[in-house]
């Protein structure tokens, strides 16, 4: 006979079946309707719905006793499309930036309280900092992170300062809210942010924020420069 489908694959298939069903129906569905539509026992469906509800992918209305798609799925799609937009717009600019400056450049997306590298172009010079796609770092220690903070409204900055813990990544890393507030004010005045060996010894950075159509900071573009080449002229790049 045919090989039996592994239980883990079967469970994953049921999750996708359920999410596709609720997305395509576009309305609330009862426990019984879902069970019939995707051919899953009610007891198994109950466990599946509990898991998805706990993660925010499905919501339940006690009044109507119906289930519908939750906000978590929308946020996931939004984050994915935002990254695609950043890449499509920003990646070509990296090539131009590195060609002009001969320094390594990165495109970073905002993910919570960190930035994540989503594209890089390396300097053609022999002394080169290496940034990997997927690498993350805290906003307060990176030029791109500080640029993002400076582009945020004051209420968002203050909320960030209340929850952040300043880790001494290097001897030069910002270590207090007061110090970061002063730095944000300077970035807002100058329009560009710097990180002077605050994340990696020997590496300095120049960063600018990238904004959504609505003016919300969603990422940054940065140059990573060996400090031995980080001169007043470099700041004008």
pTM across the whole model: 0.64
Handedness of CA 143, 148, 153, 159 (dihedral sign): negative
Separation of alpha carbons 132 and 117, rounded Å? 7
Summarised one tens digit per residue, pLDDT across range 160-187 is: 999 999 999 999 999 999 999 999 999 9
Summarised one tens digit per residue, pLDDT across range 69-107 is: 887 766 655 555 566 677 777 778 888 888 888 999 999
85-92: long-range pairs with CB below 8 Å, 24+: 86/118, 86/210, 86/218, 86/219, 87/118, 87/119, 90/119, 90/210, 90/219, 90/221, 91/119
């Amino acid at each position: 006979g045919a090989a039996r489908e592994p239980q883990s694959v079967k469970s994953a298939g049921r999750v996708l079946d359920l999410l596709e069903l609720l997305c395509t129906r576009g309305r609330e569905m009862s426990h019984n309707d879902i069970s019939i539509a995707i051919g899953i026992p009610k007891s198994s469906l109950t466990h599946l719905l509990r898991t998805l509800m706990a993660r925010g992918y499905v919501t339940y209305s006690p009044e109507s006793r119906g289930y519908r798609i939750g906000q978590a799925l929308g946020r996931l799609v939004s984050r994915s499309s935002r990254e695609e937009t950043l890449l499509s717009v920003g990646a070509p600019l990296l090539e131009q930036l590195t060609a002009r400056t001969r320094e390594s450049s990165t495109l970073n997306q905002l993910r919570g309280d960190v930035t994540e590298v989503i594209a890089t172009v390396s300097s053609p010079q022999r002394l080169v900092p290496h940034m990997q796609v997927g690498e993350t770092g805290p906003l307060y220690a990176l030029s791109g992170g500080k640029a993002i903070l400076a582009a945020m409204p004051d209420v968002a900055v203050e909320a960030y300062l209340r929850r952040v813990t300043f880790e001494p990544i290097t001897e030069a890393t910002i270590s207090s809210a007061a110090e970061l507030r002063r730095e944000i004010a300077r970035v807002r005045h100058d329009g560009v942010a710097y990180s002077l060996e605050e994340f990696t010894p020997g590496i300095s950075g120049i960063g600018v924020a990238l904004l959504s159509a609505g003016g919300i900071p969603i990422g940054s573009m940065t140059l990573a420069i060996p400090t031995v080449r980080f001169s007043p002229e470099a700041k004008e790049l």
